[in-house]
Amino acid sequence: MASTLEKFIHSLDPRALPRVLQIQSGIYFQGSIYEMFGNECCLSTGEVIKVIGFKINKLIASICENNEVSRVSAKVELPLNFPGLYKVVADKTPYGSIEEITRKVSIGPTRFGHPCFYSPEDIKLANITIKNGEQITFNSVEEVNGMMAVNCDVVRNNQSHSFTLPLSQEGKFYECEDDQIYTLKEIAEWKIPKCRNRIVKLSNTLHMWDSSNPLPENFDGCLILTPVYEVQAVMQFRKDIVHILSDLDVEVKDITDCYDISSFLQPLSLEDVFDRTSKEFPMVAEIMEGPSGSQKPYNFLYMGKEIVIYKKYQATRILASEIRSDSPKRHFLIPMSYKGKFKRRPREFPTAYDLEIARSEKEQLHVVATKAFDSPHKDLFSVSVGDQFLVQQRQTSEVLYEERKKVIDVFACEQILSDTYKKVLLPMYMEGDFVEVIHDKKQYQLSEICKEFPLPFNVKVSVRDLSVEEDVLAAVPGLQFEEEITDSYLLISSTSSPVESWEIPVYRLNMSVHLVSKEVQMVVPPVTKTTVEEISEEQYYMVRRYENQTLHPPPRPPKKPTTLAPKPVFAVPKQDVSAVLQAPKNFCVDTTKKLCSNQAADVSELQVSCQNDLVHHENKKDMTGRATLVETDVIKGLTNKALGKCEAEEEEEHKYDYVDENIIENLRKVFQDTTVRNKHAPCEGRRDI
């Protein structure tokens, strides 16, 4: 049965690909040249194409005034990078089964890929009963005991409870209201279900309105978003992949079941190549579609180029992220063959529990507090900004809590005073920031760090890798080595000039090839070049999907006794402590200027300053060789006036007209603060927008 291309693509399950379509009718019935992204193709009546993929290219927005969905005043076309932040309106139409949800809704590893639903009826499972109206978060889809299921969780009394729902589970499942805000691109990628439209409300504009804006001035209504897909297809007698928009005015018919699909060239993704047996390597392939953009070192992989694929294998990488207070952070995968050298940088620990995790038998951890903490128990230590400690070990202590004695976990430390040490106990749940003081000035190879220190670990490149033309890590002010991962790679070289071979990642490089019946001239691969790979935030979450789950979260803090009057807490920004340690004897520092300095370099400066101070006080070490107190005499004179002046200067300095990721994240935080009270409330009975 024939249908429009748009209708077919909107209802097509990606898991059913590839599909063979025959052009039935339309404005191209006599044949016409259609050009898209520089690719020309002739779509004539009777033409046969093989659809191998599709993705959202743009959105058609129906403008609804006064939030009345039934009253559409106009339709406009919006690109995915159109500025603005939007709130998703919950879909009132229920899903009939878990299988339907997995088929139509995007579920993935990133923060956007965890949709929430609720059932108007109780769901009784073997180990838990989900109450009606209770918010269920869908985390991932995988095979459990030979059956496909969804990993879910519910939150009760601030505790998360995990369980699985089989795809065969039926019932009515309604979408929960979403308290997040998104860009149009994020909505297109994650929040538009198959075969459904998506209603959104404009939450915040990121630029001033002008006449070129397709939305009405001061628009405060709803938008009904309809996706327009870009279809990737293969045509007979062509060696490239063509791109067609789904709103093209043609009718198509699915003839997959009655057509010899082998008559088309067989595009293979890198995953398809990797799935082949080791005996099939090496092989020669021609690139049908190269990676998007011209990112190094993959800019030599262009359409029509022939390559030799020597082998498939697993390789070790160190996952590292840029150390900075704002977002977005840059993320890297560093090969073990990296030839640069690193110096240590101070780590940050938000709780005493994190100190326990970082504690090592190799060296004693020395930290300085950058946030005050008022202990609710008189037997436990209250921390002030600038206090320094030598970390000892975890133990238990008996405290008086609500007129009863209670045993809690504490952390034993030694406070460093001017000429002595004082044993103190810190509660494990303590909310206070600590920054490490570095005594080690040695330069390390990557392999040495992985062997001698537990991850995460903070460093900075001290000697760049001279074997590469451009070392991207050398310009980064600070790096955190997060974990060691194993990833899949293919080793390739050019057939025309096999001087060197390259490792290409299987799951992060979007490239299609088809195999060529040629003999490999050089069976042994040439010299292999490995490079540092910079990855996107989404790719970062993908490689972290198997992160270590053995570490337990810190214990929840007990409620403070109501009889204890809270002492005023004065917490200063980390950059001020850094500035103090950098110039301990200069009391004429312009604190306003220091407060406005670049936060990204502050933690790095802390290491250098602490080392300088420790050299100055070398003669003050006691007979056991333990570190003495680093001077922190300033942390005074910071006033609200100075803070306000700084914020005003910062605001005047940055005026953005387009979508900026930092603005998006800040607006998200502000928006979420106003809705956090209702985040885990039952979905049933909520008022729809």
Whole-number mean pLDDT of the chain?
76
Note the pLDDT tens digit of each residue in 511-551.
Answer: 889 998 888 877 778 888 888 999 888 788 777 754 444 34
Phi-psi region of 218 (alpha: psi -120 to 50; beta: other; left: phi over 0): left
Q: What are phi and psi of 287, to 5 degrees?
A: -75, 125
Cβ neighbours for 450, distance < 8 A, ≥ 6 positions apart:
318, 336, 481, 484
Most confident of 125-139, 370-384, 390-404, 533-547: 125-139
Bridge partners (DSSP) of residue 533 are 333
**Separation CA 552–CA 471 (nearest Å):** 37
Higher pLDDT, 589 or 402: 402
Question: Hey, what long-range contacts does 73-82 have (CB within 8 A, 24 or more apart)?
Answer: 76/214, 76/215, 77/214, 78/184, 78/214, 78/225, 79/184, 80/56, 80/184, 80/185, 80/188, 81/184, 81/185, 81/659, 82/184
Q: Which two tokens stand for residue 207?
A: 């630029």
The continuous run of DSSP H or E covering 514 comes out as: strand 512-516
Q: What is the DSSP letter of 65?
A: G
**Separation CA 337–CA 335 (nearest Å):** 5
- Judge contact between 19 and 255, C-beta under 8 A: no
Looking at residues 408-420, what average pLDDT do you find?
A: 85
Higher pLDDT, 145 or 217: 145
Looking at residues 489-501, what average pLDDT do you find?
A: 87
Identify the three-state secondary structure at position 17: coil
Residue 372: pLDDT above 90? no
**pLDDT score of 67:** 66
Note the pLDDT tens digit of each residue in 274-333.
Answer: 988 888 899 999 998 888 765 666 778 888 899 999 999 999 999 999 998 777 789 999
**pLDDT score of 240:** 76
Most confident of 22-31, 398-407, 620-629: 398-407
Q: Which residue has tokens 């042994």?
A: 524
Phi-psi region of 26 (alpha: psi -120 to 50; beta: other; left: phi over 0): left
| Least confident piece of the model among 97-106, 421-430, 510-519, 639-648 | 639-648
CA distances from 402 to 377, 405, 406 (A): 10, 8, 9
Residue 99: pLDDT above 90? yes
**pLDDT score of 171:** 94
Angle at 325 between CA 394 and CA 438, to 5 degrees: 50
Q: Which two tokens stand for residue 46?
A: 């009777």
Looking at residues 551-579, what average pLDDT do you find?
A: 44
Cβ neighbours for 63, distance < 8 A, ≥ 6 positions apart:
72, 73, 74, 75, 76, 215, 216, 219, 221, 223
Higher pLDDT, 63 or 570: 63
Cβ neighbours for 242, distance < 8 A, ≥ 6 positions apart:
36, 39, 41, 49, 232, 233, 234, 235
Q: What is the DSSP letter of 671?
A: H
pLDDT band at 689 (very low <50, low <70, confident <90, very high): very low
Q: What are phi and psi of 595, to 5 degrees?
A: -65, -30
Nearest of 68, 85, 89, 92 to residue 221 by alpha carbon: 68
Q: Which amino acid is at 78?
A: L
Identify the three-state secondary structure at position 49: strand
**Separation CA 336–CA 456 (nearest Å):** 16
End-to-end Cα separation, the chain, in angstroms: 39
**pLDDT score of 360:** 77
**Separation CA 67–CA 511 (nearest Å):** 43
Residue 570: pLDDT above 60? no
| Least confident piece of the model among 110-114, 207-211, 253-257, 479-483 | 207-211
| Least confident piece of the model among 149-153, 259-263, 425-429, 555-559 | 555-559
Looking at residues 480-493, what average pLDDT do you find?
A: 92
Higher pLDDT, 441 or 33: 441
pLDDT band at 393 (very low <50, low <70, confident <90, very high): confident
CA distances from 21 to 7, 143, 232, 257 (A): 13, 32, 12, 10
Looking at residues 604-623, what average pLDDT do you find?
A: 41
Q: Which residue has tokens 């509660």?
A: 427
**pLDDT score of 214:** 82
Cβ neighbours for 46, distance < 8 A, ≥ 6 positions apart:
22, 23
Q: What is the DSSP letter of 418?
A: S
**Separation CA 418–CA 568 (nearest Å):** 25
pLDDT band at 658 (very low <50, low <70, confident <90, very high): very low
pLDDT band at 574 (very low <50, low <70, confident <90, very high): very low
Q: What are phi and psi of 516, to 5 degrees?
A: -115, 135
**pLDDT score of 556:** 52
Bond preceding residue 297 cis, omega within 30 of 0: yes
